[in-house]
């Protein structure tokens, strides 16, 4: 019974010090498979390296950055080349903006080739995202576990399965109070792509909230 899957009802996920909501059936699986194949093929995937304790390390995933002119992005001593929006990604952005009521000017795509790929504990709190960033995460392909850990209250942990076609919206003060990761999952053979949409602050713009205050879960 997947007829209504594309309508994707919104659910608010209760989380202290954060706004987190998601659309578990945002995109039907047949369509998600088409987007997955398209993005694997057309994306100029990069193998980023980060610097930890003076050592250059290859991150365990591939990624790529898309954005409007001026929407730069970097983390942990690496900077990604900015690609212009493709027609496909522009379409995806428009649809995600329509659903969430939020504007985005850039996208970080991640390709987790198998369960051996991962992303370590982090917050998406880069200065160019401004305070209280709002980030949309579209998941395509193999489901992966998404774990959350509160920065100062270790008893607060959550785990969510980000499955094919689901859309997650992280907002409020979440990036100040929570870290998240995609842990390695030995035995998982399939690949996952996440398209994470963000609103980067143009260089030199004044500090202040960027998020559309109407875009609440
Ligand atoms: Mn993240």
Question: 1 CA to middle of ligand 1, Å?
Answer: 32
Instruction: Taking each helix axis as running N to C, give the angle between helix 29-42 and helix 87-100, from 0 to 180 degrees, rounded to the nearest 10.
Output: 140
What whole-number distance in Å separates Cα of residue 135 and Cα of residue 107?
9
Instruction: Provide the pLDDT for residue 106.
Output: 94
Task: Give me the domain span that covers residue 141.
Answer: 11-198
Question: 124 CA to middle of ligand 1, Å?
Answer: 5
Question: 3 CA to middle of ligand 1, Å?
Answer: 31
More confident: 205 or 212 = 205
What whole-number distance in Å separates Cα of residue 193 and Cα of residue 119?
13
Whose tokens are 């909501």? That residue is 21
Residue 4 located in a structural domain: no
Residue 114 located in a structural domain: yes
What whole-number distance in Å separates Cα of residue 160 and Cα of residue 100?
20
Instruction: Provide the pLDDT for residue 71.
Output: 72
Instruction: Provide the pLDDT for residue 203.
Output: 60
Residue 65 located in a structural domain: yes
What whole-number distance in Å separates Cα of residue 11 and Cα of residue 6?
14
User: Does residue 207 have a pLDDT over 90?
Assistant: no
Q: For residue 91, what is the domain's CATH number?
A: 2.60.120.590
Over residues 57-101, the pLDDT tens digits come to 999 999 999 999 877 666 666 678 899 999 999 999 999 999 999
Over residues 102-129, the pLDDT tens digits come to 999 999 999 999 999 999 999 999 888 8
Instruction: Provide the pLDDT for residue 178.
Output: 97
Kindly write down the DSSP assignment for every residue of 93-127, as one continuous string.
Answer: HHHHHHHH-----EEEEEEE-STT--EEEE----G
SS3 labels along 24-78: CCCCCHHHHHHHHHHHHHHCCCECCEEEECCEEEECCCEEEEEECCCCCCEECCE
Residue 215 located in a structural domain: no
Instruction: Provide the pLDDT for residue 1.
Output: 35
Instruction: Provide the pLDDT for residue 4.
Output: 41
Instruction: Provide the pLDDT for residue 38.
Output: 98
Residue 5 located in a structural domain: no
Over residues 149-189, the pLDDT tens digits come to 999 999 999 999 999 999 999 999 999 999 999 999 999 99
Question: 187 CA to middle of ligand 1, Å?
Answer: 23
Residue 137 located in a structural domain: yes
Question: 54 CA to middle of ligand 1, Å?
Answer: 23
Total of domains in the chain: 1
* Pairing, β 119-122 against β 178-182: antiparallel
Residue 64 located in a structural domain: yes
Instruction: Provide the pLDDT for residue 77.
Output: 62
Chain length of the chain? 217
Question: 123 CA to middle of ligand 1, Å?
Answer: 6
User: How many other C-beta atoms can be found within 10 angstroms of the C-beta atom of residue 110?
Assistant: 19
Residue 52 located in a structural domain: yes
């Amino acid at each position: 019974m997947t007829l209504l899957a594309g309508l994707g009802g919104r659910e608010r996920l209760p989380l202290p010090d954060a706004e987190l909501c998601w659309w578990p059936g945002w995109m039907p699986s047949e369509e998600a498979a088409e987007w997955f194949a398209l993005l694997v093929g057309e994306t100029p995937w990069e193998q980023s390296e980060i610097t930890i304790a003076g050592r250059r390390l290859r991150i365990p995933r591939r990624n790529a950055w898309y954005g409007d002119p001026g929407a730069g992005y970097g983390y942990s001593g690496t900077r990604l080349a900015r690609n212009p929006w493709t027609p496909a990604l522009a379409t995806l952005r428009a649809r995600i903006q329509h659903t969430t009521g939020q504007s985005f000017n850039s996208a970080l795509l991640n390709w987790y080739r198998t369960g051996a790929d991962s992303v370590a504990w982090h917050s998406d709190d880069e200065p160019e995202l401004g305070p209280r960033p709002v980030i949309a995460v579209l998941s395509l392909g193999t489901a992966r576990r998404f774990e959350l850990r509160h920065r100062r209250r270790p008893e607060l942990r959550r785990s969510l399965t980000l499955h094919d076609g689901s859309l997650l919206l992280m907002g409020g003060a979440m990036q100040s109070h929570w870290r998240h990761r995609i842990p390695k999952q030995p035995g998982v053979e399939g690949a996952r792509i996440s398209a994470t949409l963000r609103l980067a602050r143009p260089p030199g713009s004044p500090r202040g909230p960027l998020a559309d205050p109407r875009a609440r879960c």
